[in-house]
Amino acid sequence: MGRYNYLLAIGGAAAIFAAVGSYTHDVPVSLFDDHVIKRLIFGIIGVTALRQSGGPEVTGPQRWNIPFASFILAIELVTLAHAEGTRAWGFYAATLAFWLLAWRAVDVVLAEQAPRGRAKLLSDLAVPMIFGFTLIVLWEVLARGLQIPMVILPAPSAILGKLFTSLPILGADFLQTVQGILAGYVIGCGAGILVAILIDRVPFLQRGLLPLGNLVSALPIVGVAPIMVMWFGFDWQSKAAVVVIMTFFPQLVNTVAGLAASGAMERDLMKTYAASYGQTLFALRLPSALPFIFNGLKINSTLALIGAIVAEFFGTPIVGMGFRINTEVGRMNIDMVWATIVVAALCGSLFYGILAFIEKRITFWHVSYRQGA
Amino acid sequence: MLTSLWSGKTLPVIVVSTILVVFWYVGSIYLNGDMQRDAFANANKTDYTLSEFIKGTWTQERPKLPAPDQILSELYKTVIDTAPTSKRSLVFHGYVTLSATLFGFLIGSVLGMILAILVVHVKSLDKSLMPWVVASQTIPIIALAPMIIVIMNQFDITGLVPKSIIAAYLSFFPVTVGMVKGLRSPDPLQLDLMRSYWASRVQIFFKLRIPASVPFLFASLKVGVAASLVGTVVAELTKSEDGGFGARLLAGSYYGQTIQIWSALFAASACAWALVTLVGILDRLVTKAMGAR
């Protein structure tokens, strides 16, 4: 693998430029200014990258040089971006160097791919983490460094700061919205599963409801939000109602599909046992429907969040994530909007994660989890 | 004849829909009953008959739940009777929403397909970016909509484009995920066969991966176009001055015009249905052109 590595070559060259360039327009270039240590670090990183760019693929502990270097670069860049002044080309060169070396770092970690087991999980997680970290560092550096106005794009550090200083508000918003989501989710999904079981013995109703369910899944149901707000008032009940309507049909369709999923052989076996309808349902068909039911539950976890947040755009008591987004957008507090979006994103992935965890514990026997065990 | 109707899909759907409509009418009586009693009480009318009462609940001006025929006549009035150029016409609002939706959907799905092609061929993108694309499906990214509108406004980007951007990113993610799945769907045997023909990567791509991805692509395009419409409608809640179904919903909720809300909702649903059906027809045409049975 003696291929010439352009990523490293350009990245290294950029780092060397960064070592000798000026970082702010106001200050004349001098190698022995306040940034002398920084310049030294950039220089070392540049030389290392250039040396690795030609010649054979680096092995042994030295292969971690570039990931480590890009991490150091990230720290140096962020401190540079936080300093006063207008940026000059040394700063841009350092940013370019960081981006390219981080890219190379992803390749290095990718080459480490463990074949299976816990190590594979770790390396599968590490790569997207490095990527996400790189994006956030670049966002931070560019937002701070180019002094992008707060109302257009606040830096991640500003968003995080806002998040921690307004925890009480965000917490209250979270509780308010989650109340509606959970109530609606439990009722909507529960009703979907129940109705699916009820119409299980009436194929006529199934054939009638399924096409309708599929149709409704494609419609912009969030539009019922203003109606629900009129019916159930501003508080969480109206949000729960929107969530019920949004989650019912996807859950129904998935559960009906799941109930049909058990094999003919297995059902025949139940018949030879003289099992009653109820016994077959609980011992065979519901368990084999579980993967489908969980699929519906997972789709609905996102839908429920969307429904509740959008419903809050139409009116709430002055609390709730959707309300917060809508009002703070109007007041140009974009950092607060981002903080709320972070909470909503965490809430969504946590919700999904919990469902995925429960699914794995309950349906461990299913084919999709057995392979490669 | 009767049995085939019974075991087909048409009759059950008609029966179930009829049951739903009947429930709807009963629901209107129930939900609008209180208001009707108040109306009679205000008019000092105590000797009203049951049929007068029921008729009253179905013909209120701002009912809690308008009867289906009220919604239909409002739809007729605003779609057919009103000139399409008028701001009261749903055709006008539908045009506003649909143009933003289609433009955004086009951008979003094309970008989604390009990214999917990159992901399938660049391993580092697959391992680093793809997990985030998948994770984005679990978070309510629609919450970004109001912010995007306001930020675009500061750059003096107004009109169709900000709404289309929201429609685009809502369709982008499902299309990417579906297309990646589709491009990966050829099994190892088929790939081995291509290799034994000494097919290049480009040839494998055009002769095997692309055809194999078509069913997946269209399935996710259907999801994407529906998501685009929802995105545009939500965007119109923030940016209501240009009109559109979202603006109609918002105005209706301000002034308590329930019939207007419902008719906007019905019209938006009809558009969503038409868009999904259109993608479905396209799907069938393409599959047929590819020679599938």
The DSSP secondary-structure symbol of A315 reads: -
When comparing pLDDT for A294 and A370, which is higher? A294
A298 touches A209 (CB < 8 A):
no
Q: What pLDDT does A336 receive?
A: 92
Q: Which of B138, B139, B269 sits opposite A220 (nearest CB)?
A: B269
Contact state of A219 with B64 under an 8 Å Cβ cutoff: no
Say which residue the tokens 């480490």 belong to. A112
Contact state of B261 with A226 under an 8 Å Cβ cutoff: yes
The yes-or-no verdict on residue A71 having pLDDT over 70 is yes
Fold of the domain built from segment(s) A162-370: MetI-like fold (1.10.3720)
Contact state of A223 with B264 under an 8 Å Cβ cutoff: yes
Q: What pLDDT does B37 receive?
A: 83
Contact state of B143 with A340 under an 8 Å Cβ cutoff: yes
Q: How far is A17 from chain B (nearest CA, A)?
A: 27
Tokens found for residue A320 = 């709730």
Contact state of A223 with B268 under an 8 Å Cβ cutoff: yes
Contact state of A207 with B12 under an 8 Å Cβ cutoff: yes
Q: Which of A107, A227, A351 sits opposite B258 (nearest CB)?
A: A227
**Average pLDDT in the B117-144 region?**
87
Percentage of chain B surpassing pLDDT 70? 97
A97: Cα within 13 Å, side-chain hemisphere? 35
A226 touches A194 (CB < 8 A):
no
Among A187, A316, A297, CA closest to A240: A187
The yes-or-no verdict on residue B225 having pLDDT over 70 is yes
Tokens found for residue A279 = 């016994």
Cα–Cα distance measured from residue A190 to residue A147, given in angstroms and rounded to the nearest whole number:
50
Chain B neighbors of A128, CB-CB under 8 A: 127-129, 131-132
Q: Which of A224, A301, A321 sits opposite B138 (nearest CB)?
A: A301
Say which residue the tokens 């550090």 belong to. A157
Say which residue the tokens 């209501």 belong to. B240
Q: How far is CA A13 from the centre of its chain?
A: 34
pLDDT in tens, A257-269: 999 888 889 889 9
Contact state of A351 with B138 under an 8 Å Cβ cutoff: yes
Q: Which of A128, A225, A315 sits opposite B131 (nearest CB)?
A: A128
* pLDDT band at A1; cut points 50, 70, 90: very low
The string of DSSP letters for A161-194 reads HHHHHTHHHHHHHHHHHHHHHHHHHHHHHHHHHH
Percentage of chain A surpassing pLDDT 70? 94
Contact state of A326 with B140 under an 8 Å Cβ cutoff: no
Q: Which of A127, A217, A222 sits opposite B127 (nearest CB)?
A: A127
Domains of chain B: 2-65 (no CATH), 90-289 (1.10.3720.10)
The string of DSSP letters for chain B reads -HHHHHHSSHHHHHHHHHHHHHHHHHHHHHHHHHHHHHHHHHTT-----HHHHHHHHHS-SS-SS--HHHHHHHHHIIIIIS-TTSTT-HHHHHHHHHHHHHHHHHHHHHHHHHHHHHHHH-HHHHHHTHHHHHHGGGS-GGGGHHHHHHHHHHTT--THHHHHHHHHHHHHHHHHHHHHHHHT-S-HHHHHHHHHTT--HHHHIIIIIHHHHHHHHHHHHHHHHHHHHHHHHHHHHHSGGG--HHHHHHHHHHHT-HHHHHHHHHHHHHHHHHHHHHHHHHHHHHHHHTT--
Say which residue the tokens 């494609």 belong to. A218
Chain B neighbors of A215, CB-CB under 8 A: 273
The b/e string for B191-217 (b: 16+ C-beta within 10 A; e otherwise) is eeebeeeebeeeebbeebbbbbbbbbb
The yes-or-no verdict on residue B126 having pLDDT over 50 is yes
Among A74, A20, A22, A9, CA closest to A48: A9
A170: Cα within 13 Å, side-chain hemisphere? 22
* pLDDT band at A2; cut points 50, 70, 90: very low
Contact state of A110 with B124 under an 8 Å Cβ cutoff: yes
Pick the residue from chain A with its C-alpha nearest to B228: A220
Chain A neighbors of B170, CB-CB under 8 A: none
The yes-or-no verdict on residue A275 having pLDDT over 70 is yes
Pick the residue from chain B with its C-alpha nearest to A303: B140
pLDDT in tens, A131-172: 999 999 999 988 888 888 888 889 999 999 999 999 999 999
Q: What pLDDT does A191 receive?
A: 96
**Could you report the predicted ipTM of this complex, rounded to two decimals?**
0.87
A225 touches A313 (CB < 8 A):
yes
Q: How far is CA A207 from the centre of its chain?
A: 37
pLDDT in tens, B183-208: 998 888 999 999 999 999 889 999 89
